[in-house]
Amino acid sequence: MNTAIVIDTSREIPDKWYSLYNIYPLGYVVEDSSGQKHIERTQIQSVRTPELVELVCKDRKSKLLAPSIKDFVELYTYLAENYDSIVSLHSSNITPAVFENALVAKKLVSEIEIDIIDSHTFGASSGIFVEELAKFIMEAKNINEIRKEAISLNKHISSIILSKNDQLDTIGLRKGSWHTAFTSSFRPYVMYQELYGKWETIKRGRNIKSFVNQIIKQVEIVNRAKEIKIVYITYHGTLSKSVRKIKSIVSNTNIVETNPSLITHYLLGENYVDVAFL
């Protein structure tokens, strides 16, 4: 299959995967407090997300605007010139507006076969999903094989997130606004775990050391029971020291470290660590 992969940039992957797996990102737009708009995608396969993360850190009144139907139509039409089919990876749960825009755009582009794949992964776990499915797509014979693999990946990817945002659950994400999730330093940290596409709150408190130890313990248990194939890590802010401890226990595993996406930053706030594994 000569297939292009389209993602919105909430799917967290290293930049090098773009050209390797024929991945084309659709960026978001940040509207700052003065009304000026900053486009995340500057050109095809060129995404400057870190600069925008810093912008929204400084401007707490900034808003996030999803890729439009027009953006999807333009990209799908562009890809139709060089590919036989498109697999477009998005989340009806995490970014419902993006998912709906992709579905509408699909109906407006007849020059190429387009399939919209739904994934409930988020942050670091989204990175694993994209990479593993992209590898599979390169060898797949038809779209049904790809759909089955996507369902399997959604079931077997796990993610642990430590953040001060206490709204990270299925309902909260579905209803969440696109305003930055900045939280007070007085609010406790919350640890979440994603299992089978649903988020569960594991623990709340202020003792970072105990949180990190619990993450390490959970990863160690999984690693003893079943060999971990790959680990994705995304983090921002003061929790970078905690990441070093977590990485040390999976040092023999393939570890991929990615930059925080705009979606992750808006939902989790300034200080968080997100560890996902397959």
C-alpha to C-alpha distance for 232 and 181, rounded to whole angstroms: 22
Partners of residue 161 on adjacent β-strands: 192, 274
Task: Enter the DSSP assignment of 2.
Answer: -
**Per-residue confidence (pLDDT) for residue 175, from 0 to 100:** 43
Tokens in use for 45?
């396969």
Mean pLDDT of 27-33: 89
- Kindly report the number of other CB atoms within 10 A of residue 172's CB atom: 13
Question: 136: pLDDT confidence band, cut at 50, 70 and 90?
Answer: very high
Q: Based on the number of CB atoms within 10 Å of its own CB, is 65 exposed (0-12), middle (13-18) or buried (19 or more)?
A: middle
68-87 residue pLDDT tens: 999 999 999 999 999 999 99
**Per-residue confidence (pLDDT) for residue 169, from 0 to 100:** 58
Partners of residue 273 on adjacent β-strands: 162, 235
Spell out the domain ranges in the chain.
3-155, 158-277
Kindly report the average pLDDT of the chain as a whole number: 84
Task: Enter the DSSP assignment of 152.
Answer: H
Secondary-structure breakdown of the chain: helix, strand, coil percentages, each rounded to the nearest 5: 40, 30, 30
- Do residues 9 and 25 lie in contact, with contact meaning Cβ atoms separated by under 8 Å? yes
Residue 134 confidence (pLDDT) above 90? yes
- Do residues 231 and 242 lie in contact, with contact meaning Cβ atoms separated by under 8 Å? no
Contacts of 207 (CB under 8 A, 6+ apart): none
The tokens 């642990």 sit on which residue?
160
**Per-residue confidence (pLDDT) for residue 77, from 0 to 100:** 96
Q: Write the CATH number of the domain with boundaries 3-155.
A: 3.40.50.10170
142-183 residue pLDDT tens: 889 999 999 999 888 888 998 887 666 554 444 444 455 555
- Do residues 179 and 267 lie in contact, with contact meaning Cβ atoms separated by under 8 Å? no
Give, in order, the Cα–Cα distances in Å from 230 to each of 117, 216, 269. Answer: 22, 15, 26
Partners of residue 96 on adjacent β-strands: none
CATH topology of domain 158-277: Hypothetical Protein Tm841; Chain: A;domain 3 (3.30.1180)
Give, in order, the Cα–Cα distances in Å from 120 to each of 19, 181, 194, 234. Answer: 24, 20, 10, 17
37-67 residue pLDDT tens: 888 865 665 667 888 888 888 887 888 889 9
Q: What is the pTM of this model?
A: 0.88
